Structure 1
């Protein structure tokens, strides 16, 4: 029986590795036997690009939200991996959705009809805390904050945490913050010290994502890191991060099987 666990990946700062993390964790979950839907909730459509989707005449998340459809458009990328693509036109809804009394719940309403078809639904989000992110947080069961181990990234983390706690007390009481993921870690003193400070202040995943050019190369070539360079530090880190994520959710990875089994 599929769980339909929906996880939103957020941060108001760009360039911290949200899209890369959604892409790689999704690929890793598929390797472990799960059926995964990736939802590109960002008008920049970087997750759509990374998955090699370039069908200009097909419907996207923009069409579904703008027209109030009952279902999101879903396309199969590979076995057990599915994508709801985005496009630049989606940005036009940023001003329209807040004027709709139910505008902050548009994604939740649509996704509710489909989430149980998948073991996991992973939502990538723009680097803001606006209406697109609130839609994702209202739709999600869990949330992960992705943050670079730098002082600029650390500066605004409390704002993100406070927003999640506010929504948890309000319209989405089941929302759970699974923790923070540190990306682009290195042995530079300033990054190491910043990472240590973040770990002291917040609940952080033990697995950090080391800075490596392989992840950038894989994204540019529209490949996941496991296909592009399975022996790289990026592949190792995202494999370990996915294992840790499953452990937090109390779910066993089942290699070679199509359904998730909960302990």
Structure 2
């Protein structure tokens, strides 16, 4: 079970959309995929399941006092030190091959974030397992579903808060979506500054914990997230002599982010001594190129249909008649290939 977080502390870079469509591509390659919505905004849950179905999962009752979201496992764990229930949902648009399961998020995750204490739980070593909830949920999901997942993908909020720490400590790899703007290159540098300090905290807590729990096999295996590449998302293109190119400003941002990965992120992560946090071969170019899909991306979310299947559906504005223009279909098919490429990257490199 390989766990991959999609992370950038900058908002609006397309983490949720990229994760959802990548998960679909992984499943269509006959993999068993679990996605965990660990973002209190719950956009992934709404996109995959639909707002009405997600609202029903949030409802509580005497038989389901915590609803049927991630809260149903997490709240009993932190309040009563016992595992709760994992409720697994399936996407509104059925997967044609493989398996795709969803652990719905919950707005309550904001409260959960407040209960996690880096100083006491991590550095002090007394609550490391409180920071391993995504892993524990994945394991419980396998037990509940009877499915041995190949990949677990985690969606995260745009911050460096304790939820992000928790997911990264549980992750084998992380991918960084970026957009064509000045702040993306800066944020890549920030990740290089922050992740080593996260790992330093974990190593201190792990040493204290293992001093009295020397036979624990899980804690030594966690806290080792490796950078697996960045994704360039939401850029514009134009054609010149029949060849597609990124527009000038977006190409400049592309170059700037690649430079930040090479000169800031890689050197910082290479300084982590407890494990190898970067690929042995430096790859500074994006592992996938996702163009701006304009009206297609929000339409995909409104209809709860991933890009791979969207050409088969009518546009929302034309539900009673009409269809996608051919150039729109061509772009969706082209971007679907990029999501397939991203899935292939995970399969080949996240091992």
Q: What is the TM-score with the length of structure 1 in the denominator?
A: 0.84
Partner of 1:149: 180
| Superposition deviation, residue 238 in structure 1 | 4.2
Spell out the pairing of 1:20-169 with structure 2 (5 A cutoff).
20-51=17-48, 52=50, 53-54=53-54, 55-56=56-57, 57=59, 58-68=67-77, 69=83, 72-77=86-91, 78-79=94-95, 80-98=99-117, 100=121, 101-102=127-128, 103-114=130-141, 117-167=148-198
1:126/1:27 Cα in 2 relative to 1: closer, same or farther (>3 Å)? same
Equivalent residue for 1:256?
A: none
Aligned to 1:104, what secondary structure does the other structure show?
A: helix
Structure 2: how far apart are the matches of 1:47 and 1:247? Answer: 22
Provide the C-alpha distance between the structure 2 equivalents of 1:247 and 1:146, rounded to a whole number of angstroms.
14
Which residue of structure 2 aligns with residue 205 of structure 1?
A: 286
Cα offset, 1:22, TM superposition: 0.7
Q: Is the 8 A contact 1:140 1:175 kept in 2?
A: yes
In 1, Cα distance between equivalents of 2:106 and 2:133 = 17
Q: Which has the higher contact order (CA 8 A, sep 6+)?
A: 1
Aligned with residue 243 of structure 1, among 331, 337, 341: 341
Q: Secondary structure at the match of 1:73?
A: coil
Structure 2 match to 1:223: 305
Residue 195 (1) aligns with residue 282 (2)? no
Q: Give the whole-Å Cα distance in 2 for the aligned partners of 1:164 and 1:229.
A: 39
Whole-angstrom CA distance in 2 between matches of 1:63 and 1:248: 30
The answer (yes or no) to whether the contact 2:170–2:223 under 8 Å persists in 1 is no
Check whether the contact 1:65–1:107 (CA below 8 A) recurs between aligned residues.
no
Indicate how the Cα distance of structure 1 residues 159 and 234 shifts in structure 2: closer, same or farther if over 3 A, else same. Answer: farther
Residues 1:7 and 2:4 aligned together: yes
Query: Does the aligned pair in 1 maintain the 2:288–2:342 contact within 8 Å?
Result: yes
User: Which ranges of structure 1 fall in alignment gaps of 5 or more residues?
Assistant: 252-261
Q: Partners in 1 of 2:224 and 2:113 — Cα distance?
A: 25
Structure 2 runs not aligned, ≥5 long: 60-66, 78-82, 122-126, 204-221, 237-245, 262-283, 313-328
Distance of 1:7 and 1:242 partners within structure 2? 16
Q: Deviations over 1:193-244 (max 9, x none)?
A: 0111112332232421101121221012211011112734244234334324
User: How far apart are 1:163 and its partner, in Å?
Assistant: 2.9
Paired positions, count: 249
The RMSD of aligned alpha carbons is 2.4
Q: 2: distance between equivalents of 1:33 and 1:11?
A: 28
